[in-house]
Structure formats: C-alpha cells, structure tokens
A and B are shown apart, each in its own frame.
Chain A
Amino acid sequence: DTGVSQDPRHKITKRGQNVTFRCDPISEHNRLYWYRQTLGQGPEFLTYFQNEAQLEKSRLLSDRFSAERPKGSFSTLEIQRTEQGDSAMYLCASSYNNQPQHFGDGTRLSIL
C-alpha cells in the first residue's frame, strides 16, 4: 500500500493560465474523489468517480473545471483560465466501495 499520490505538490501560475493536477489512488480502490480546501476551512467536495465513470459533480465545479479518470486508475483535474479564487489546496482521496477514504498530500495551487 503506497498510499494516494498527488502531483505536483505545489503549483504557482499566473491568472488566466491552465493547470492540470494528477492523482494516483491506492491500486485496488475503485472510488476516487476530488476536494478543495481553502485556508482555515474544511475540504469541500468537487467530484467523484467510480471506476472510470464520473458519478457526481458539485456545483462548485464550474465549466472551467474538468476531471477525468480514463482507465479507472489515475485521475486528472484541469482548471482552465485560472482565477484568483482558484487558489486552494486540491485534495484527492480514494476508497474501496464504502470503506473509509484515504487522502493524498494534496496539490497547493497559488495564482499570481
């Protein structure tokens, strides 16, 4: 069990640029989740996959956000035309069915 891996750990970009984050879940986990956490707050749900199917998206996930999990393994989260308000920690978690979710270290996004 190597844990949930996220890449990169930190991303600094200029407003208006596109960014993409990657999450590698624990290998036998069929569910994968993305959350966003701003400073001093609890994580907020963004979207969730069961295998390769994206089953739920939060209203927080605007049209500028897209997530994929093409082969039911790793997932990517892309933000287009980044805005100041996108600055946050993006957390990925995975689980096997209804078992507890295991979290990665997160990707911290800073928008200049």
Chain B
Amino acid sequence: AQTVTQSQPEMSVQEAETVTLSCTYDTSESDYYLFWYKQPPSRQMILVIRQEAYKQQNATENRFSVNFQKAAKSFSLKISDSQLGDAAMYFCACIQGAQKLVFGQGTRLTINP
C-alpha cells in the first residue's frame, strides 16, 4: 500500500525568505506521480506542482520547485521569495495505478510579515 508522510505539522517563514517542506513516500510501483497541493483556509485544494517519477529533472513552477530523490523516496517543496498569499496547508500526494491520490497529513505554513 502507498503511504505519504509529512513530518512537519507546522512551518513558518519570514516574508520574502525561502522555506522547504518535507515529504517522504512509499510505493511498490515504478510508475507514479507526485504532487504538492495547497489548501488555503476555507478554500479549495489547488495544485501547486507535479512530478513524474520517470523524470530525473526536478519540476519547477515559478517560485515553487521540488527536490525529488527517487532512491530515497523523498519529495520536498521549496518556496522562494515567500509571499503572504502562500499561507495555507500544504499536502504532498502520490498517485499510481487506479489514479486515486494518497495524501500526507499536511504542513501548515505561516508567513510572517
């Protein structure tokens, strides 16, 4: 069975600084995708970034980038130049086979002005 673990329940960062959110996962499949989703308070889940497991190159989306370490089954999210609007719950997720997402427990990110 797939599992996704986020070991940081809460993180905080000063506005304009860089923060890294950690995620580890376990899967027996060789073909899978990894995601980071953002869930602002009382708002919908939004896709931040996606990584295909077969790609060695780390995905980047503007200020958001990942460090994908396949052998270590690690998938961290780096947010550069943090903005107040980045404050949210961040969920790491894995998908394989039947395409159901398996989520981690989430990390609450606070941005300090």
A residues apposed to B, CB below 8 Å: 3-4, 31, 33, 35, 40-45, 48, 55-56, 91, 93, 95, 98, 100-106
Contact = CB atoms under 8 A, between A and B. Distances in A.
Given A48-B100, A95-B99, A103 B45 contact: yes
A30 to B, nearest CB: 11
B35 A100 contact: yes
A106 B91 CA distance: 16
Main SS of chain B's interface residues? strand
The 3 closest A-B pairs by CB, nearest first: A42-B103, A103-B45, A45-B100
Contacts of A106: 44
Contacts of A40: 105-106
18 contacts: A3-B44, A42-B4, A42-B91, A42-B93, A42-B103, A42-B104, A42-B105, A43-B45, A43-B101, A45-B100, A45-B102, A56-B100, A95-B99, A100-B50, A101-B101, A103-B37, A103-B45, A106-B44
A101 B28 CA distance: 22
A56 B101 CA distance: 13
